[in-house]
Structure 1
Amino acid sequence: MTLSSSFSNNPDLDSWLHIHADGRVTVYTGKVEIGQKLTTAFAVIAAEELDVDLDRITVQTADTALSPAEGYTSGSMSMENSGTAIRQATAEARRVLLELASEKLGEPVETLTVTDGDVGGEHTNQHVSYWDLMGDKQFDREVTDGATPKNPDQYRLIGNPISAKGIDGLVTGAMAFVHDMELPGMVHARVVRPPRYHAGLKELDEAPVRAMAGVIEVVRDGSFLAVICEREEQAVWAAAKLAGLAVWDDKNALPSADIFEQLKNNPRESFPLADGVPQDIPVQSPETPAKAAATLSSTYQRPYIMHGSIGPSAALACFKDQGLEVWCHSQGVFPLRQAMAGVLAMPEESIRVSHVPGAGCYGHNGADDVALDAALAARAIPGRPVLLKWERADEHGWEPYGPAMQMDVQASLDDEGRILYWSHETYSDSHMGRPADHGEHSRLLASWHLENPRTPPIPQPNMGFQSGIHRNADPIYDFPDRRIVKHMVRELPLRTSSLRSLGAYANVFAIESFMDELAHESGADPLEFRLKHLTDERARVVLEAAATHAAWGAVDREDGHGRGIAMARYKNQKCFAAVVMDLSVDDFGAITLHHAVIAADAGQVVDPEGLRNQLEGGLIQSASWTLKEKVDFDGGGVLSRDWESYPILTFPEVPTIETVLIDHPDQPFLGAGEATQGPTAAAIGNAIFDAIGLRLRRLPLTQDRVREAAAEG
């Protein structure tokens, strides 16, 4: 048995679980709960391996004082890394506990049985519980490969529907988010950002603000501005007043050229890929095979898009006894602690960062930045906790966006309609902008505005497997020859970082849209065309399951109605997902989504409802990106500052969704949180073409895009 990579930095069994004398079991993870129900899945895994009731399990998420260091919650790796670690750790704990019980009861381990933590023997009426055996003691040993987890035929819980932990509090409004926290003596703060990128503070008359009711302190450090008040509404009013009094310089306007022109014309570093890994060798030009009967090429484009969390970011911080404690919704509390220690010139061990749920986000939004904002405010009034919340304009205008991207795709077909050659080039900015220890540099927003600023590090090309720009740029299909190239483009205008699925969303949109174009060119059914180029058996099963469940090819459709299909395997090594989308386009170009079918293979399914939520939530978010979302900006800055200028999908616009799960109890977990992003976009684009015969290649696929395409013929 290969141990989880999460044990490399956290080998002690006590880092992963604790048996309490009162019958409770705490399981520790370095991952965070952001709505993906991983705490439920982890609890199920632990209860299964330990043979205890699920209600006994509490999952402690990322906290630098309590949990194992597992980096970021990202990349659809929580189940594969932390889930596997918890399975192996709890199996090890059960082995140790049974050995202790064997000594206590005088029975061989093989004859012992466990019911809800109570251990009994075959030859005696005596029993002993886990809690009696441990009594709050430590295991004092490392996790080894000596314990074998249960076989699937022994499962009681795994694979069965489970109510999510904490769901009652969520649906009744009783659950507290970081925004709702209250501590004794707590005060409230707001930050005042510059009106645009690169603007600096020139003048400020603080006196009128300091004279306002409830104002405790105006914090000014270079161009960083915040106000602290006794009550939250006072902080809102004082921040508005402060913003009106601040005078900013007008230097360094943003480049106003079309972003896709910048992607093609700006300086860049280019790398061909081999098996998903960039190679530091010259890029060769695309070819046209001698046997090609037809060669097609297309360009697909994605604008900047934002995380669009419904609730703006928030954090609570308190300086006390030479230390700092921060509560926030960061997805990487350990790297954030490193980054904050550098900016604040504090020893890392004097800072504690605890994750508290916040507004939903898959990726790097303002959660880390607001933590530093709160800390800078709290430093001005030691001993009093400071709750700092961003406003909507802060979130929309300053969060790190998902980068704009352009994909140039070319392929050649033989005279039997098979793909002979495939070329895919992706142009983009970095997708990796999360904070960590960057030495003299920093990726935290406020650090750039201080009197002694820390500049952001220059992003380096990510040369890892299926990372960033080139994630899913390599199709899952079988082609005799392929050429995949990533271009990391420099000097682009907006701040970027990780957004759910990174480059996979746009790359799969391009690949699966182009597969439909090639199918149309060869006169083939889009499903059959894909299957003709697909030998991976699990991928074929998923694609066929989606098609079968949607009755592909057997449904008569009215004029203006269309359906599209698309599939991918996230990172070419995680969850397989296929999507069939039914929609209509009216005479005015308005697009309505009607019904979607998802089929997915995520390996062993622990929590079916949790997995469905992941896949369906991904489809909904992807549909919103695909139909609506785009960050607008000009030389004066970001223009998308509210929900009118950055619309997202509304509840009435969400299609009905059916999800088919293909369970493999004997296979490892496969990360599924980002699997439907790309297939959804392409399925929508392909359905639009099926409905009205127009191919839309620039996202978002809006009513205006339909009209433009119709006008162009």
Structure 2
Amino acid sequence: MNAQLPSASRRKFLKSAGCLTISFAFLGLGTETAGSPIVADELPGSLQNNPRINAWLEVLSDGRVRVLTGKIELGQGIGVAVQQMAAEELDMPLGKVEVALAETDRTPDERYTAGSASIEQSAMSVRYAAAAARQKLLTLAAQKLGVKASQLSLADGVIQTKDKKRRLTFAQVLNGAQLTDEVRLPIKLKPKSQYRYVGKAMHREEIERMVRADEWYVHDLRFPNMLHARVLRPANYESKLVKLDVAELKRLVPGLLKVHVDGSFVGLLAEQEYDAKLAQDYAKLHAQWTPGRTLPAGQPLPDYLRKLPSSSKQIANQGHFDTPSVASETTLSASYFKPYLMHGSIGPSCAVALFDQGTLHVWTHTQGVYPLRDSLADLLKLPQEKIHVKGVPGSGCYGHNGADDAAADAALLAIATPGRHVRVQWAREDEHAWEPYGSAMVVDISARLDPSGRITHWQQQVWTDTHSARPSGHADKLLPAQYLAQPRLPKNDGATDQSAGGYRNAEPLYVVPNLRVDAYFFEGPLRVSALRSLGAYANVFAIESFMDELVEKVKKDPWEFRLQHLQDERAKAVVRKAQEIAGQQKLTESEGLGFAFAQYKNKAAYVAVIAKVRLAEEGTIYRPQLWAVIDAGEVINLDGIKNQTEGGMIQAASWATNEEVIFDTHGIRSRQWESYPIYRFDEAPYIMGVTVIDRPNEQPLGAGEAAQGPTAAALANAVYRATGKRIRELPLRPEKLVDESVHRQ
């Protein structure tokens, strides 16, 4: 992909586009269209932080509209969703709306693309900004045409009088200017009865490009005279470089242009990528390092994690627990475990950087261009206005993988080689061994039930490391910063609640009169940060597995048991729909059907997952069948919700059955796919269907991470029904399914 250097600032962009930005005052909201418009009563948070219309959309000279979003495309389809929103409110053809993704000094600062918040925050901000723009355009057009706004209509990007004899394009209305008014309440949205795009499945061109292997990712960027670079990583956490024979390395790899050494940070730069990789391979074999940190081994990881020093936080405390249980009550306790998991991005991290005339330009698949800019400023001691970060799609990542670290690698090497683009490409071993993992977690639950089978007491304890170690303006969270001659070592400055992700979904949605949830936060042995759904994956796995165990204990129907403990009618509707689907399935003797349900973060999408499993003789779970029912509020892109739910189930199933970071005292051993297997195409579950409950009169809810926890629990529950074995420690490996000695009752 031949790339041009993007503008370093929004001002330069507007100048080059020939747009004059001037401010108008709202003269009125214009006229209502047919139907009943929705009046927004609260602006999305992203819009509150970036309140001007032109922060979100620009009218181009040819009449098209460019939509600006601070989110990056991770495969979740944010580009087409915001395109739909803008086209809908402006009554424009989709083809006349283009989308610009995250870029500093260009798009709104929306921090990170995370937490299934792209639709709730960014797309909704675009909706309200476009609705405000619509009303303003009608008002301005009425002034130009000398008519009342009520005598105008808007269709296909053109404003015209009702007799259709006089018409203006958006560009003609603005005459080269942009709308800089602040979006303020009340805002009238288009009546949903008139929707043309929202709620429907729309073609996503980027998927077609990916399938064809077109140039699309940051990995594909190529610039004239560009250098290729690899970074030599230590042998282990906290290892320090003792010796590297640079002269010998250059002799063996003649194409090696430069070796940049700063403490224990070693960059290898060459004209050809092959030479950089060859130098990295040789240096791995011959560089000498100190041993580094010793990792724990020789004891069960759950036991080790419980013994670590920890701080505690009470998440929920209601009712009374001082009364002892009585003989007529049923009691049950269980412990669940989730190992360290990695992102496992198919394409290892990559970034390109250029330091030119005092300004650093970075192309990256980071999930937060503004936080990364702030972190690089802290690392390099450059003013923020001298750093320009452009988001470019990567090979897919939900969470904090190596993207920010690769960008920091590239920035350091670009500063050392001014005037030339530097492309840093991580190897598979770099990604597997050095990315921040999702924390291992231990969850203990105990409950009491009355004679009728209703839960009266629920106590839950969660042990977890942080799920939020993104740089967020702090260089010490960037991997290369920790190995410089003047290292920046990670520290928790207390500025943010880094524990929050660990207790996500720890409080059950079920109604229990006496509820206590406590979380314990330790600093574990491995590098960790955000991974899709954060702590919700382990917490929902534990809660829904435990609900299934309670069902067995009191001999209740699993569906009715959950329904009797739910008050939320939308939650009940999802469970009942899943019950209907499950009732249609036929099972053989060797098969089992499992079910699990949750509302992500107890405030986002409701998801129920049904799993049907069959085990081979050696204990392998043979390609499970999965169904899902999801209520994500108003549907923006039907395919988008289905795609996200299907992808979430497949990824979560791979986590639940295959994945676990393996390490010993000397370091990470899961450095290749052979030692960290993810699903291959011929192993992936059969997705039998995703049923979407559309609620057009409700707010859109985050859906991207909602299927993770329910999928793991549904699989574990299905395995129990197929084998009679309750596996509480993930993954559901064959040896746990055939060996009674690892089966814990």
Smaller-chain TM-score bracket = over 0.9
Deviations 1:616-635 (A, max 9, x none): 10000000000000000111
1:442 aligns with 2:466: no
1:502 aligns with 2:542: no
Code of the residue aligned with 1:584 in structure 2: it is: R
Once residues 637 and 124 of structure 1 are traced to their aligned partners in structure 2, the CA distance between those partners, rounded to angstroms, is 73
Name the SS for the 2:619 alignment partner: coil
Q: What's the offset of the Cα at 1:651?
A: 1.4
1:457 aligns with 2:491: yes
Code of the residue aligned with 1:600 in structure 2: it is: I
Code of the residue aligned with 2:341 in structure 1: it is: I
Structure 1 residue aligned with 2:518: 485
With over 3 angstroms needed to count, the CA separation of the structure-2 counterparts of 1:112 and 1:275, relative to structure 1, is farther
Once residues 196 and 322 of structure 2 are traced to their aligned partners in structure 1, the CA distance between those partners, rounded to angstroms, is 54
1:227 aligns with 2:268: yes
Once residues 570 and 320 of structure 2 are traced to their aligned partners in structure 1, the CA distance between those partners, rounded to angstroms, is 33
Does the 8 Å contact 1:626/1:700 carry over to 2? Answer: yes
Once residues 136 and 308 of structure 1 are traced to their aligned partners in structure 2, the CA distance between those partners, rounded to angstroms, is 47
Once residues 653 and 705 of structure 1 are traced to their aligned partners in structure 2, the CA distance between those partners, rounded to angstroms, is 19
Name the SS for the 1:593 alignment partner: coil
Deviations 1:124-168 (A, max 9, x none): 611111121124412132111243111211111111121014233
Structure 1 residue aligned with 2:130: 90
Structure 2 residue aligned with 1:419: 455
With over 3 angstroms needed to count, the CA separation of the structure-2 counterparts of 1:293 and 1:103, relative to structure 1, is same
Does the 8 Å contact 2:595/2:610 carry over to 1? Answer: yes
Q: What's the offset of the Cα at 1:27?
A: 0.4
Code of the residue aligned with 1:231 in structure 2: it is: Q
Q: What's the offset of the Cα at 1:606?
A: 0.7
> Which has the larger displacement, 702-711 or 680-689?
702-711
Code of the residue aligned with 1:482 in structure 2: it is: L
Of 383, 390, 408 in structure 2, the residue corresponding to residue 347 of structure 1 is 383
Does the 8 Å contact 2:571/2:606 carry over to 1? Answer: yes
1:300-449 superposed matches below 5 A: 300-438=336-474, 442-449=476-483
Once residues 143 and 186 of structure 2 are traced to their aligned partners in structure 1, the CA distance between those partners, rounded to angstroms, is 19
Code of the residue aligned with 1:266 in structure 2: it is: L
Code of the residue aligned with 2:677 in structure 1: it is: P
What TM-score, normalized by structure 2, do the two folds share? Answer: 0.92
Once residues 285 and 386 of structure 1 are traced to their aligned partners in structure 2, the CA distance between those partners, rounded to angstroms, is 61
Of 70, 80, 84 in structure 1, the residue corresponding to residue 110 of structure 2 is 70
1:263 aligns with 2:305: yes
Once residues 560 and 521 of structure 2 are traced to their aligned partners in structure 1, the CA distance between those partners, rounded to angstroms, is 35
With over 3 angstroms needed to count, the CA separation of the structure-2 counterparts of 1:462 and 1:516, relative to structure 1, is farther
Once residues 600 and 190 of structure 1 are traced to their aligned partners in structure 2, the CA distance between those partners, rounded to angstroms, is 43
Q: What's the offset of the Cα at 1:263?
A: 1.5
Query: What is the RMSD computed on CA atoms of the aligned residues?
Result: 1.9
Does the 8 Å contact 1:112/1:119 carry over to 2? Answer: yes
With over 3 angstroms needed to count, the CA separation of the structure-2 counterparts of 1:272 and 1:711, relative to structure 1, is closer
Once residues 251 and 692 of structure 1 are traced to their aligned partners in structure 2, the CA distance between those partners, rounded to angstroms, is 44
1:47 aligns with 2:47: no
Q: What's the offset of the Cα at 1:291?
A: 7.4
Name the SS for the 1:421 alignment partner: strand
Q: What's the offset of the Cα at 1:454?
A: 0.4
Deviations 1:382-437 (A, max 9, x none): 00001110000000000000000000000111111111111111101110100122
Structure 1 residue aligned with 2:639: 609
1:563-602 superposed matches below 5 A: 563-602=593-632
Of 259, 272, 293 in structure 2, the residue corresponding to residue 218 of structure 1 is 259
1:192 aligns with 2:232: yes
Structure 2 residue aligned with 1:254: 295
1:102-251 superposed matches below 5 A: 102-123=142-163, 125-211=165-251, 212-251=253-292
Structure 2 residue aligned with 1:280: none
With over 3 angstroms needed to count, the CA separation of the structure-2 counterparts of 1:710 and 1:354, relative to structure 1, is same
Deviations 1:598-625 (A, max 9, x none): 0000000010001100011000000000
Does the 8 Å contact 2:406/2:426 carry over to 1? Answer: yes
Name the SS for the 1:394 alignment partner: helix
Structure 1 residue aligned with 2:506: 473
Q: What's the offset of the Cα at 1:58?
A: 1.0
Does the 8 Å contact 1:584/1:594 carry over to 2? Answer: yes
Code of the residue aligned with 2:146 in structure 1: it is: G
Of 686, 689, 699 in structure 1, the residue corresponding to residue 720 of structure 2 is 689
Structure 1 residue aligned with 2:739: 708
Does the 8 Å contact 1:420/1:481 carry over to 2? Answer: yes
Code of the residue aligned with 2:257 in structure 1: it is: I
Structure 2 unaligned residues grouped into runs of 5+: 1-40
With over 3 angstroms needed to count, the CA separation of the structure-2 counterparts of 1:385 and 1:712, relative to structure 1, is closer
Runs of 4+ off more than 3 Å: 283-292, 459-464, 709-713
Structure 1 unaligned residues grouped into runs of 5+: 277-282
Once residues 175 and 208 of structure 2 are traced to their aligned partners in structure 1, the CA distance between those partners, rounded to angstroms, is 31
> Which has the larger displacement, 176-185 or 244-253?
244-253
Code of the residue aligned with 2:238 in structure 1: it is: H
Once residues 130 and 539 of structure 1 are traced to their aligned partners in structure 2, the CA distance between those partners, rounded to angstroms, is 44
Once residues 101 and 328 of structure 2 are traced to their aligned partners in structure 1, the CA distance between those partners, rounded to angstroms, is 55
With over 3 angstroms needed to count, the CA separation of the structure-2 counterparts of 1:455 and 1:652, relative to structure 1, is same
Structure 2 residue aligned with 1:666: 697
Q: What's the offset of the Cα at 1:286?
A: 8.2
Once residues 6 and 310 of structure 1 are traced to their aligned partners in structure 2, the CA distance between those partners, rounded to angstroms, is 31
With over 3 angstroms needed to count, the CA separation of the structure-2 counterparts of 1:124 and 1:532, relative to structure 1, is closer
Once residues 275 and 422 of structure 1 are traced to their aligned partners in structure 2, the CA distance between those partners, rounded to angstroms, is 10
1:535 aligns with 2:567: yes
Structure 2 residue aligned with 1:678: 709
Q: What's the offset of the Cα at 1:287?
A: 6.7
Deviations 1:567-622 (A, max 9, x none): 00000000000001111123321112332110000000010001100011000000
Does the 8 Å contact 1:581/1:593 carry over to 2? Answer: no
With over 3 angstroms needed to count, the CA separation of the structure-2 counterparts of 1:379 and 1:488, relative to structure 1, is same
With over 3 angstroms needed to count, the CA separation of the structure-2 counterparts of 1:128 and 1:308, relative to structure 1, is same
Does the 8 Å contact 2:312/2:519 carry over to 1? Answer: yes
Identity of aligned residues (%): 43
Name the SS for the 1:270 alignment partner: strand
Code of the residue aligned with 1:660 in structure 2: it is: T
Code of the residue aligned with 2:652 in structure 1: it is: S
